[in-house]
Amino acid sequence: MTQEKMELGKKMDVALHYVAYNLRKTGHNTKPVLFHSFKVAYKLYQYGYGEEVVIAAILHDLLEDTSVKKEDIKIKFGESMLI
């Protein structure tokens, strides 16, 4: 495994933990949001999309399904996650 893939794996872990924590804390969707987020991110990873797209896929339902705000995501993951 390349260093780049290992780094992406670590960043995906951070993003998944962040989503799981916030879903548990303030989530209000009864559907399996965490599993959905992982599936979307993994598909994009398999298709060769870059790090920002894969991480954004993990985070994509936070604004809709939790009380996380755009500013929270920007602070934790950077400005590029808000595009």
Q: Per-domain residue ranges for the chain?
A: 3-82
Whether the pTM exceeds 0.85: the reply is: yes
Q: What is the pLDDT of residues 6-48, one digit of tens each?
A: 898 899 999 999 999 999 999 998 899 999 999 999 999 999 9
CB 52, CB 41: distance < 8 Å: no
* pLDDT (mean) for 43-65: 94
Q: What single letter denotes the amino acid at residue 42?
A: Y
Give the three-state DSSP class for 31: coil
Find out if CATH 1.10.3210.10 is the number for domain 3-82: yes
Q: Of 71, 68, 54, 65, which Cα lies nearest the Cα of 31?
A: 65
* pLDDT (mean) for 45-70: 94
